[in-house]
Amino acid sequence: MKTHTFEQHPPPAARMTAAPTTPDAAIRFSDLLDQALTFWRERQGEDGVFSLALPLRGVDPLHQLPLLSAADPFRFLWDGAPGLSLAAAGRCHHLDLAGPRRFELAQRFSDTTLARILDATPEAPAQARSRILLAFSFFEHCSEQQPRPTMPSVQAVLPRWQLSRHGRQGWLRLHGTVSQGADVRCLTETLWQMARRLEQCHNGAHAQWTTAISGTTAPGPWQDRYASTLRRGLDLVNEGELHKLVLAVRQSIQLQTPLDPLPLLHRLRQQQAGSCRFLWQRDCDDTFFGASPERLLCLRSGQLRSDALAGTAGKGDRGEALLRSDKDRREHELVVQAITDHLRAQGLSPRRPRRPQLARHGQLVHLHTPITAAAGGQTPLTLAGALHPTPAVAGLPRREAISWLRNLEPFERGGYAAPIGWIDTAGDADLRVAIRCGHARGCQLDLTAGAGLVRGSVAERELQEVGLKLTVLADQLDLQAVPLAT
């Protein structure tokens, strides 16, 4: 297990001869500073991370993420607009680790770190709470065939900066270490100056986000690499060794210049309004992003929701074929049953509708069943560890399916189909399954998609489904020069 701590200390504060222009008409700098100093004096001597938040109007976390400058290059985006949108930058504390106890240890790190936060703005609403940001890899360990891991098995981050918006109201939060009153003033001034910068720059902040990605090249057809793997997977389900197996394929694309993900995420906001756009950027050369339609779990005030999402049709299909398809309905029911079984094994009493619904996400339509339960005091990552991976992205039985994925897929999944999201100071959490995603390293962009195999699956149809998903990804990213499907 590796643990690291980063702190960006603001420069020595210059004495202000006049109060800055206020970011919000109801708040003056002197009031904010008095509040921070009074809180620090009351809690002086306590060990922890000092945190201060400020309300803002007219901000958009997606567009203004580049303005959240920090010494550490980490950046994060969670864009559920018109719901919660959250941008973060820099790492105040973070944890990287691997192993079978990763969910348990990540929960312990989250609990310990959030409990040590000294929040000088306790009146801030739920959207402005301090959060631990989380990104898991699909597997607990990197494959022995891989020379180095594509990403740690879990990353947990308390960011330096948080910019959130829900509805019209936004909040800016800063985390830092203080040991004396001068540090509190310095942190308060840093927060105030960043708020002014965001307020002044929000108009036209994304005016340049209109260009497509050009000059891309693609390697040989993915179908040639996938065909033999697909045949073996079909044998496994048709012979009864597995009830279901979700085999993925990866298409690597060489770009002329490194990828800027924010214009793509802006476009995905328009094209995938029902999904949650996400970004996990470890550094300038390593960016994982996408628009996930699938909720692994959402925990709000002790109430849990999980999504079963399996069965896919393309653009122009209103979904009637999915509802009539015996193969798709059976595949979907396997996912629903597995999720409810895992929740019952945790002592919960899940509820579900009798029949699946249709959910349209951009150009794709899915069978969807929402599953709800009272969490009964269970922690978010205990439940996430019980649910991941669902049969929607792995297979059944789970252990055997995971073993076959290791043997059959010739690449490391990394963050593909793994949980990504956050936990806040109230114990609320939101974790998505990272599908419909890309991973950029320098000028290489990897797109990954999969298809669920059950008894009766037809190879040609599964090839078409994977090709459809890859093509939709390419269209969303405006990679129109790349022949992903034939």
In the three-class reduction of DSSP (H, G, I as helix; E, B as strand; rest coil), residue 155 is classed as strand
Rg of the chain in Å (alpha carbons): 23
Helix (H) / strand (E) element for 290: namely strand 286-292
Q: Which two tokens stand for residue 286?
A: 């390593």
Q: Each residue of 217-243: b (16+ CB within 10 Å) or e? A: ebeeebeebbeebbeebbebbeeeebb
User: Is the CA virtual torsion 127, 131, 135, 140 positive or negative?
Assistant: negative
In 3D space, the residue among 315, 468, 453 whose CA is nearest the CA of residue 393 turns out to be 453
Helix (H) / strand (E) element for 156: namely strand 154-166
Is 439 within 8 Å of 287 (Cβ atoms)? Answer: yes
In 3D space, the residue among 420, 400, 401, 381 whose CA is nearest the CA of residue 152 turns out to be 420
Residue 122 φ/ψ, nearest 5 degrees: -65, -15
Is 90 within 8 Å of 76 (Cβ atoms)? Answer: no
163: β partners: 87, 172
In 3D space, the residue among 478, 403, 416, 425 whose CA is nearest the CA of residue 447 turns out to be 416
Is 98 within 8 Å of 141 (Cβ atoms)? Answer: yes
Q: Measured between alpha carbons, how far is 457 from 273 in angstroms, rounded to an integer?
A: 31
Catalytic residue among 189, 199, 294, 412: 294
Catalytic residue among 189, 244, 331, 465: 244
Residue 244 appears among annotated catalytic residues: yes
Query: Could you tell me how far CA 285 lies from the centroid of its own chain?
Result: 18
User: Is the CA virtual torsion 85, 154, 116, 299 positive or negative?
Assistant: positive
List the end-to-end C-alpha distance of the chain, in Å, as a whole number: 45
Residue 294 appears among annotated catalytic residues: yes
Strand 131-136 to 154-166 pairing: antiparallel
- Show the 3-state SS of 211-232: CCCCCCECCCCHHHHHHHHHHH
CB atoms within 10 A of CB 210: 9
| CB burial of residue 421 (10 Å; 0-12, 13-18, 19+) | buried
Phi-psi region of 435 (alpha: psi -120 to 50; beta: other; left: phi over 0): beta
Is 363 within 8 Å of 315 (Cβ atoms)? Answer: yes
In the three-class reduction of DSSP (H, G, I as helix; E, B as strand; rest coil), residue 251 is classed as strand
Question: What amino acid positions are annotated as catalytic residues?
Answer: 244, 294
